[in-house]
Amino acid sequence: TKVTKEAVIYHNTMSEIKQIQKGDKLPDVDVQIFENDDAKTVKTSELFGKGTVVIIGVPGAYTPICTRDHCPSFIAGAKKLQEKKVDLVACISVNDVWVMNAWGEYMKTGQHVKMVADTAGLFGKATGMWKEYSAAILGGRTKRFALIVKEGVVTHVAVDDEGVATTSAEGVLPYL
């Protein structure tokens, strides 16, 4: 296998990106949402910049843990999150907006979780929440994470390499 100059630059660049931390301002990049039966590109500052937002990152739509445990915990915990004054829960993944919309319909997220497509991985890379899942044949994806953001500033960061102990709704609630 030939290693290209571009691959080395990409690897070195990705290894230098620091994971977002408490107190950091959320990066402003383009993501996609499904609105009025169509794809819409929005800036993360527009979507996540006001109020209290919980952003959950998942490696992929329809993947087992994401579909069975992670996202559903926020649907089930919607009332508790509202009581804690959460304005928006958003699920972001490196999938296209059509897949994210269909997955949201499949899980019946309704008004509880906004499905967000990070199609090019810009958000995952800019936050340092990026992982190469080559062994699992997924390629580059977001890590399984949860961020609490207040007025565009990160107030809590959680990452789970396995399971959803710290990134589920129950794992996030104590930090709101």
Q: What is the pLDDT along the chain (176 residues), one digit of tens a residue?
A: 444 344 444 444 455 579 999 999 999 999 999 998 999 999 999 999 999 999 999 998 888 888 888 999 999 999 999 999 999 999 999 999 999 999 999 999 988 999 999 999 999 999 999 988 776 677 788 999 999 999 999 999 999 999 999 999 999 999 99
In 114-147, which positions are buried (b, 16+ CB within 10 angstroms) versus exposed (e)?
bbbbbbebbbbbbbbbbbebeeeeeebbbbbbbb
> Given this model, what pLDDT does residue 6 score?
45
Separation between Cα atoms, residue 66 and residue 109, nearest integer Å? 13
> Given this model, what pLDDT does residue 132 score?
82
> If you compute the radius of gyration of the chain from its CA atoms, what whole number of angstroms results?
16
Cα dihedral across residues 117, 41, 14, 18: positive or negative: negative
Separation between Cα atoms, residue 165 and residue 57, nearest integer Å? 14
Separation between Cα atoms, residue 116 and residue 104, nearest integer Å? 10
Cα dihedral across residues 51, 149, 26, 69: positive or negative: negative
> Given this model, what pLDDT does residue 16 score?
56
Q: Please name the helix (run of DSSP H) or strand (run of DSSP E) that holds residue 102, with its range, or none.
A: helix 97-107
The residues annotated as belonging to the active site are 66
> Given this model, what pLDDT does residue 140 score?
83
Beta bridge partners of 146: 56, 158
Q: What is the pTM of this model?
A: 0.88
According to DSSP, residue 27 is labeled: P
> Given this model, what pLDDT does residue 136 score?
63
